[in-house]
Chain A
Amino acid sequence: MAVVEVEDVMFAYSDRPVVEDVSLEVEQGDFLGLVGPNGSGKTTLLELMIGLRRPDSGSVRLFGQPAHASETGKRVGFVPQDVAETEGEMPVTVREVVRMGRYPRRLFGRFTDEDRAAVDAALRRVEIEDLAERRVGRLSGGQRQRVFIARALAAEADLLALDEPTVGVDAESREAFYDLLGELNDEGMTIVLIEHDIGVVTSRASEIACLNRELYFHGDPETFVETDALSAAYGDGQSIVHHEH
């Protein structure tokens, strides 16, 4: 079943088009890596896919419904850009943030045993139960990412959308974080990931979409590294982040 269906989508900020003629599908269980140069519309496309924006033309369907329909929100876990870098003075604890994952189902009324169990299970799954009473703002970048993943797991999300989640995270935590994403994907979680590090994406993702306003490539990583889609999208002379893994 297709989790996300993007069809002929156009989106512009006033008269500046940032996404043009993009069509792609994300199947259940896919791990899609979205790559492209800075300002290529990756974040906008991700926001369109999970219904944070509505396309100027074309259509985006999420779980078979229009993406902006509020019901689809319950099934999406979103890890925003620079969560690892923003420290924040807000005195929320890890547990309070993970509990937010249950809010779409339980915006009012008491938490049930099921809600509490889902929160505990999510904390255990990403191995941060010992941090539960700590302040989110006082954690390391790598730990903070796990909090957001746990929030998505507590929500029982079927789709995890991440926007450059490892900016500002040390190499070791980064590896561990991508291992965790790989495990979740193996367990059936559909993942859409924006990542500037091409090496990470090609080694971890099952699908690659290469974007620079238009879609330059959509397919498996093996084919992607053989084509010249990358240099076409980035243009000649652009520096490409590429680490060996």
Chain B
Amino acid sequence: MSGQPLTTVARPLQSLDGAISFVLDVLWGSVMDVLAALTGIEMLGFPFMQRAYLAALCIALIGPLVGSFLVHREMAMIGDTLAHSAFAGVAAGLFVNSLAAVTVPPLLSALVVAALAALLVQSLIDYAGAYRDTSLAIVLTGSFAVGSVLITATGGGIAVGINAYLFGSLATVSRGNAAILLAMSVVVVAAVAAFYRPLLYVTFDEVGARAAGLSVTRYNQLLAVLTAVVVVGAMQIMGVILVAAMLVIPTAAATSIRGFKRSIAGAIGAGLVATLSGVTLSYLYDVAAGGTIVLVAIAVYVASMLAVRAQE
């Protein structure tokens, strides 16, 4: 009798675990194994590098996808703000874990806190009439303050865990985290695909969109929450401090492309160059993945600017 409720709980968990294993090991793992065998590049066969490359692909896709809307609304800094609130979320998760018997995945608490911060920032801008960059700065520093207080409140016990999130690392991408990032990416891509038109209209001409009867506030909130999702997903590899770069730099590298859809595609291309070569270089030279990715992204940006100059 006592086994009955356990199995009903365990079954969906097992099937979720099965699905994750199918996607990560059977699908992605096999592709990468074949790639490793064909190219003779050993690291493509290591499971943790396979997960890192998967994360790299996801980040290169969703960062510029959402970033294109942010950059052209001059809201590039919202990514940085939400990253710092995600940091508070990670700290809160680790804090709860250190006190209570429950286990809160830090990525989940980061997502909740960052999404709430996104809505807070948006309503500060909409209703309080606060200067946009001032309200961003308040939320940014405020949430970092919460995070730092929570870390020290446990006597420094969780400070070790937090470092990986601050600076990012390839090793942070556990199986569970890879699965969460993959799921987040599916959600972000689906949401942008579904709401592409209103997001574009609001980005290009907010007043015009309002005059045309679009609920601009809703779409602003949607964009802010999507930004929070991207930031939390990309944070594991990029680190809190550098994650905003993936929203901004690939997009900036692609602004000279004509047509908004094509510029998004170009930004994703720039993002792929940055993340894939960044992850590779980071492994080969044993340096921080986030920093390497950002430096490659900046190199791509500079190269594209020089190419545009040369054309003109």
Q: Which residues from 47 to 75 on chain A have a C-beta closer than 8 Å to any C-beta of chain B?
A: 50-52, 70-74
CA A73 – CA B212 in complex, angstroms?
4
**Nearest Cβ on chain A to B206's Cβ, whole angstroms:** 9
| Pair A89/B72 contact, Cβ less than 8 Å | yes
**Nearest Cβ on chain A to B300's Cβ, whole angstroms:** 17
Question: Which residues from chain B contact A92 at a C-beta distance below 8 Å?
Answer: 200, 204, 259-260
Provided the pairs A90-B204, A92-B204, A96-B200 are in contact, do residues A51 and B257 lie with their beta carbons within 8 angstroms?
A: no
| Pair B207/A78 contact, Cβ less than 8 Å | yes
Provided the pairs A91-B255, A91-B263 are in contact, do residues A76 and B207 lie with their beta carbons within 8 angstroms?
A: no
> What are the interface flags for A107-120 relative to B under an 8 Å C-beta threshold, 1 for contact and 0 otherwise?
11000000000000
| Pair A155/B212 contact, Cβ less than 8 Å | yes
Provided the pairs A74-B213, A90-B260 are in contact, do residues A108 and B72 lie with their beta carbons within 8 angstroms?
A: no
- B309 on interface, CB distance cutoff 8 Å: no
Question: Which residues from chain B contact A90 at a C-beta distance below 8 Å?
Answer: 72, 203-204, 255, 260
CA A158 – CA B198 in complex, angstroms?
22
Question: Which residues from chain A contact B259 at a C-beta distance below 8 Å?
Answer: 91-93, 96, 133
Counting chain B residues whose Cβ lies within 8 A of the other chain, the interface size class is: 20 to 34
Question: Which residues from chain B contact A50 at a C-beta distance below 8 Å?
Answer: 211
| Pair B212/A76 contact, Cβ less than 8 Å | yes
- A104 on interface, CB distance cutoff 8 Å: yes
CA A90 – CA B205 in complex, angstroms?
11
Question: Which residues from chain A contact B205 at a C-beta distance below 8 Å?
Answer: 80, 100
| Pair B204/A103 contact, Cβ less than 8 Å | no
- A97 on interface, CB distance cutoff 8 Å: yes
CA A93 – CA B207 in complex, angstroms?
19
> What are the interface flags for A130-145 relative to B under an 8 Å C-beta threshold, 1 for contact and 0 otherwise?
0001110000000000
User: Does more than half of chain B's interface fall in helix, strand or loop, or is it mixed?
Assistant: helix
> What are the interface flags for B207-225 relative to A under an 8 Å C-beta threshold, 1 for contact and 0 otherwise?
1101111110000000000
CA A97 – CA B215 in complex, angstroms?
19
| Pair A72/B200 contact, Cβ less than 8 Å | no
Question: Which residues from chain A contact B214 at a C-beta distance below 8 Å?
Answer: 70, 73, 103-104, 107
Question: Which residues from chain A contact B258 at a C-beta distance below 8 Å?
Answer: 91, 93, 133-135
> What are the interface flags for B246-273 relative to A under an 8 Å C-beta threshold, 1 for contact and 0 otherwise?
0000000011111111110000000000
| Pair A103/B197 contact, Cβ less than 8 Å | yes
Most buried by A among B211, B254, B255, B257: B211
- A161 on interface, CB distance cutoff 8 Å: yes
- B28 on interface, CB distance cutoff 8 Å: no
Q: Which residues from 129 to 188 on chain A have a C-beta closer than 8 Å to any C-beta of chain B?
A: 133-135, 148, 151, 155, 161
- A–B complex contacts, Cβ < 8 Å, 30 sampled: A70-B214, A73-B210, A74-B213, A76-B212, A78-B211, A80-B208, A91-B256, A91-B259, A91-B262, A91-B263, A92-B204, A92-B260, A96-B200, A97-B204, A100-B200, A100-B201, A100-B205, A100-B208, A103-B198, A103-B201, A107-B197, A107-B214, A108-B194, A108-B197, A133-B258, A133-B259, A135-B258, A148-B208, A151-B208, A155-B212
- Chain A residues with a Cβ under 8 A of chain B: 50-52, 70-74, 76, 78, 80, 89-93, 96-97, 100, 103-104, 106-108, 133-135, 148, 151, 155, 161
- Additional A-B contact list (10), CB under 8 Å, known A72-B213, A96-B259, A104-B213: A74-B213, A76-B211, A91-B256, A91-B262, A93-B259, A100-B197, A103-B214, A104-B212, A104-B214, A108-B197
- Chain B residues with a Cβ under 8 A of chain A: 72, 194, 197-198, 200-201, 203-205, 207-208, 210-215, 254-263
